[in-house]
């Protein structure tokens, strides 16, 4: 039965508690729910460039949305929301209730004031920048005109502490920042940083990270004209449900700040092939989830080996960013953990087997076949 008018639902209220603009701008949002009050906060370093204060509370609304849906609490924003953005958020609620009813409940969203949005007038774009393959490809694609009329000069790459890099891991943060800065510098783009505790409110990171990214970008709405981040998958291999894909990404923009998830027209192997000729990429790319001594890439895990396959095929058998080159031994020791990893490796291998050492190809094909066999067994087909 469709619930048209919910009766006596819990309420969550978000209030902009403090804000500071300038080159070290910061925003604090209080989340009031039942008798509890918690704070979300963001601190920016925009490399000497003053960041204007946002003129809407759009960022606070999208930041609190997963938390409100998870608590089945209607969301009220103390401030102004763009009408179009509010409608987009309502669509997002519908999306997530259909995709993950175990996590998210249908709620209503409202604000003190709902107004027609206005563009900032700026032509500048800011790109969320992790220093990995997808983000670096989005950077290069824009700066080198690969995207045709969609290409825009990127004014800054924005790296976040508190997303992939843990909030209190300053050692890892320092390394990630260093390499991101080097990659961006190769394209003449400055690094901006943001530190935030938002992940505490994400409910399920893999489902909601797009909302966390949008919350960061919308805090720049008065200073830039376009918010960018990298698409995780190509359009023919999109994942549903997932925090960023071609269904949810368009719903995260507003008239004040359009956003785009960039790079869906290319798969990961193609992206690496495109980037490989950049020396900075071969020295500073960061794809590995382990923490090897060089702070970059172990060269041994499945993701590293898969990346090295594409780099080798592009003509680079040894890359400084990886502790180990691709060998039959490292290829023999990987573990393929899921279907996405299987498909990405199978795709790269189908294209490049003739360019790789035969011993490497045999080892990788063994792991692909083993993954498929184990999957069949687990599904009871054998």
CB of 144 to Zn ion, least distance (A): 27
CB of 367 to Zn ion, least distance (A): 15
Q: Helices (H) and strands (E) in the chain — how many of each?
A: 11, 10
With respect to Zn ion, which residue has the nearer C-beta, 257 or 304?
A: 304
CB of 321 to Zn ion, least distance (A): 10
Q: Which residues bind Zn ion (CB under 5 A)?
A: 288, 290, 298, 301, 304
Q: How many residues are recorded in the chain? A: 382
With respect to Zn ion, which residue has the nearer C-beta, 248 or 301?
A: 301
Cα 195 from chain centre: 15
Cβ neighbours of residue 237 under 8 Å, at least 6 residues apart?
267, 340, 343
Rounded to a whole number, what is the largest CA-CA distance in the chain?
66
Coil/strand/helix, residue 271: helix
- DSSP letters along 25-82, please? -EEEEEEEETTEEEEEEEEEE-TTPPBPPPSSSHHHHHHHHHHHHHTTEEEEEEEEEE
With respect to Zn ion, which residue has the nearer C-beta, 262 or 302?
A: 302
Cα 320 from chain centre: 25
> Cα(260)–Cα(121) distance, rounded to whole angstroms?
17
Name the residue number minimizing CB distance to Zn ion: 288
CB of 302 to Zn ion, least distance (A): 8
CB of 175 to Zn ion, least distance (A): 14
CB of 294 to Zn ion, least distance (A): 11
With respect to Zn ion, which residue has the nearer C-beta, 32 or 333?
A: 333
With respect to Zn ion, which residue has the nearer C-beta, 214 or 304?
A: 304
With respect to Zn ion, which residue has the nearer C-beta, 120 or 297?
A: 297
């Amino acid at each position: 039965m469709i619930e048209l008018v919910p009766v006596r639902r819990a309420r969550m209220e978000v209030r902009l508690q403090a804000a500071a603009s300038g080159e070290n701008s910061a925003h604090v949002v209080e989340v009031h729910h039942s008798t509890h009050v918690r704070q979300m906060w963001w601190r920016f370093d925009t490399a000497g460039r003053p960041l204007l204060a946002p003129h809407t509370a759009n960022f606070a609304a999208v930041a609190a949305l997963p938390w409100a849906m998870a608590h089945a609490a209607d969301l009220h924003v103390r401030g102004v929301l763009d009408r179009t953005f509010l409608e987009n958020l309502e669509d997002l609620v519908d999306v997530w209730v259909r995709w993950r009813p175990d996590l998210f409940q249908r709620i209503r969203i409202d604000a003190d004031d709902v107004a027609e949005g206005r563009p900032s007038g700026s032509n500048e774009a800011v790109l969320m920048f992790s220093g990995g393959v997808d983000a670096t490809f989005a950077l290069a694609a824009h700066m080198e005109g690969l995207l045709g009329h969609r290409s825009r000069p990127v004014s800054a790459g924005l790296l976040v502490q508190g997303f992939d890099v843990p909030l209190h891991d300053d050692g890892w943060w320092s390394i990630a920042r260093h390499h991101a800065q080097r990659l961006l510098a190769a394209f003449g783009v400055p690094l901006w940083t943001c530190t935030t505790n938002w992940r505490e409110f994400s409910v399920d990171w893999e489902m909601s990270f797009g909302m966390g990214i949008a919350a960061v970008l919308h805090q720049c709405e008065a200073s830039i004209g376009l918010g960018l981040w990298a698409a995780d998958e190509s359009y023919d291999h999109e994942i549903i449900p997932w925090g960023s894909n071609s269904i949810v990404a368009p719903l995260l923009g507003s008239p004040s700040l359009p956003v785009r998830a960039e790079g869906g027209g290319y798969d990961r192997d193609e992206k690496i092939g495109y980037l490989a000729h950049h020396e900075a990429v071969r020295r500073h790319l960061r794809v590995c989830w382990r923490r090897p001594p060089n702070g970059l890439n172990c060269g041994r895990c499945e993701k590293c080996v898969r990346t090295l396959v594409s780099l080798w095929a592009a003509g680079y058998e040894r890359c400084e960013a990886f502790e180990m080159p691709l060998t039959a031994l490292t290829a023999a020791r990987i573990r393929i953990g899921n279907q996405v990893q299987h498909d990405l490796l199978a795709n790269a291998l189908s294209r490049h087997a003739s360019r790789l050492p035969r011993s490497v190809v045999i080892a990788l094909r063994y792991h692909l076949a083993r993954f498929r066999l184990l999957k069949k067994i687990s599904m009871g087909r054998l």
